[in-house]
Amino acid sequence: MKTTTKDISKFLSFILRHQPESMGIELDEQGWTSISKLIGQAGLHGKSIKLADVQEAVKTSDKQRFAISEDGLMIRANQGHSVKVDLALPQTTPPEILFHGTASRFVASIMKDGLRPGSRHHVHLSAKQETAKTVGARHGVPVILTVRAKAMHDAGHTFYLSANGVWLCDTVPPQYLTRNTDHA
């Protein structure tokens, strides 16, 4: 069976975001690793991929999950890590509102306790409702939450913008959340 670009993207997400050690890969402090080492280690673990496969997965990722360094030698995930990395993203002032997609079964808990990163380093937010709805649909019946991001920022919360346009913050306290009933 042929390995698809989607298969390679899932493999890259798993290794670069969550378990690099499972393939004998080490990420530097900013999440980068050598593409040639990644390909070599994948081969040692029975996964045959080529440089062109990696480049295609990065180029065609609908969510632009990965970045290749300017010299073409290194790769990293743009966000979503459960392993310790510092993406060295600058603090950024967010727009007035951002959105978070979740499943309906989580809404009561979120409205009580706020958004927390769980196993990841940050809460992920989007500038577009459509993106939030797609994210929420992965986990069940989608619900879009509106985040008063500028008010949070003005109150001292820090925001970052990843290379692929995902807004990141440590937590979202419940007082900054409302359920979006227009597009749920």
* CATH class for the region spanning 5-77: mainly alpha
Mean pLDDT of 157-180: 92
49-77 average pLDDT score: 88
Domain 98-180 belongs to what architecture?
Answer: Alpha-Beta Barrel (3.20)
Highest-confidence range of 4-13, 78-87, 171-180, by mean pLDDT?
A: 171-180
For the residues 42-56, what does the mean pLDDT come to?
Answer: 90
Q: Are 88 and 29 in contact (CB under 8 A)?
A: no
Tally the C-alpha atoms within 13 A of residue 127's C-alpha that lie toward its C-beta.
12
Distance CA(25)–CA(32), nearest Å, equals 10
Residue 20 has pLDDT above 80, yes or no: yes
**pLDDT digits over 77-126, tens only?**
887 777 777 777 889 999 999 999 998 888 999 999 999 987 777 898 99
Q: pTM (2 decimals)?
A: 0.65
Half-sphere exposure of 37 (CA within 13 A, CB side): 16
Question: What does the pLDDT read at residue 183?
Answer: 46
- Give me the residue spans of the domains in the chain: 5-77, 98-180
Considering the chain, what percentage of its residues have pLDDT values greater than 70? 96
Helix 51-60 to helix 5-13 angle (10° resolution) is: 90
The mean pLDDT of the chain is 88
pLDDT band at 1 (very low <50, low <70, confident <90, very high): low
Backbone angles phi, psi at 57, to 5 degrees: -65, -40
Contact 157, 147 (CB under 8 A): no
Q: Which range in 24-28, 99-103, 147-151 is most confidently predicted, on average pLDDT?
A: 147-151
> Strands 74-77 and 123-125, how do they pair?
unpaired
Amino acid occupying residue 142: P
